[in-house]
Amino acid sequence: MFSRRIVYAVGGFFFIAFCIILIIVSSRQPSPMEKAERVPISIIAPFQHIVTGTIRFAEDIWFHYFYLVSAAKENDHLKKALNQSVERHNRYIETELTNERLRSFLEFKKKTTSKVVAAEVVGRDPSPWFKTIIIDKGTTDNIKQGLPVVVAKGVAGQVMSVSSGYSKVLLITDRNSAVDALVQRSRARGIIKGFSSDRCFFQYVLRKNDVKVGDTVVTSGLDGVYPKGLRIGRVSGVVRRNSGMFQKVEVTPYVDFEKLEEVMVVLASVEKEQAEE
């Protein structure tokens, strides 16, 4: 009835339309393809896990046994201690600022009442233009879509999709990521948007607000995803144009995303769980 050429042309047209609709629909968050994505993650991630584990094991042998045995161990220990000190110091600053503003938090509880699950990074995004990682914890460890992911130095990202044993995490340096944030010193508010592997932009900060190079940017807690007061990065550049409502602020994240090996997924806080129950 129809020639082969017409069938190919119509088929091609419908496929183009299908691809465009698919891309537009899946650009929205949460992605409607989230459930379908679980299957490939469940298949590929165990292989990534085995390979990453083998590489880390080989690296460990090389660095800890054959190459500067004691120095490497001491270095690891000092790095851990330094990370803990930095985090503790940051918590002190946050507490001090909170007290200065005379907030009467009679039932103030530490942010650390949240439960966390430690996870290992087993794979990275196959494309250099997008910043996601695969971690070795999934629904069996109570991980859910949208949970925040942190490390000792600061915020890492947010769980994007979950399979039974593995999850995909969107890093804050990805262009699709957005985190509601504050400048720790002046409390100027804005949105942290990812830009490149070592840079983010602090958008929608009013021009009148006081932001200086070197300021620390922390999560505001207003986005309902990240707990309040977690460190994000340091302001590395400020441009105030003569016109416009906002200033352009560049932020360098505290987390080194190229060397990310272990992360912590913050499960719902104890209070939130009790409220839900």
Q: Which residues of the shown chain bind another protein in the complex (CB under 8 A)?
A: 15, 19, 22-24, 26-27, 31, 33, 36-41, 43-44, 47-48, 51-52, 55, 59, 122-132, 134, 160-161, 168, 170, 174-176, 195-196, 199, 258
3-class DSSP state of 107: coil
Q: Closer to another protein at the Cβ: 131 or 231?
A: 131
Q: Closer to another protein at the Cβ: 40 or 82?
A: 40
In the complex, the smallest distance separating the C-beta of residue 274 from another protein, rounded to whole angstroms, is 34
In the complex, the smallest distance separating the C-beta of residue 44 from another protein, rounded to whole angstroms, is 6
Which amino acid is residue 276, in one-letter code? Answer: E
Which burial class, exposed, middle or buried, applies to 130 when counting CB atoms under 10 A from its CB (0-12, 13-18, 19+)?
Answer: middle
Distance CA 131, CA 203 (A): 19
Q: Closer to another protein at the Cβ: 178 or 235?
A: 178
Q: Are the C-beta atoms of 216 and 230 separated by less than 8 Å? A: no
| Distance in Å from the first CA to the final CA of the chain | 63
In the complex, the smallest distance separating the C-beta of residue 15 from another protein, rounded to whole angstroms, is 7
Distance CA 120, CA 105 (A): 36
Q: Closer to another protein at the Cβ: 258 or 276?
A: 258
Distance CA 62, CA 5 (A): 61
3-class DSSP state of 140: helix
Q: Closer to another protein at the Cβ: 229 or 253?
A: 253
202 token code pair: 């602090």
Q: Closer to another protein at the Cβ: 50 or 270?
A: 50
Distance CA 134, CA 136 (A): 7
Residue with tokens 């940017």: 217
- Write out the H or E segment, with its range, that includes residue 25: helix 4-27
In the complex, the smallest distance separating the C-beta of residue 111 from another protein, rounded to whole angstroms, is 27
In the complex, the smallest distance separating the C-beta of residue 255 from another protein, rounded to whole angstroms, is 16
In the complex, the smallest distance separating the C-beta of residue 262 from another protein, rounded to whole angstroms, is 15
In the complex, the smallest distance separating the C-beta of residue 133 from another protein, rounded to whole angstroms, is 9
Q: H helices within 28-64, ranges in order?
A: 34-61
Q: Closer to another protein at the Cβ: 51 or 61?
A: 51
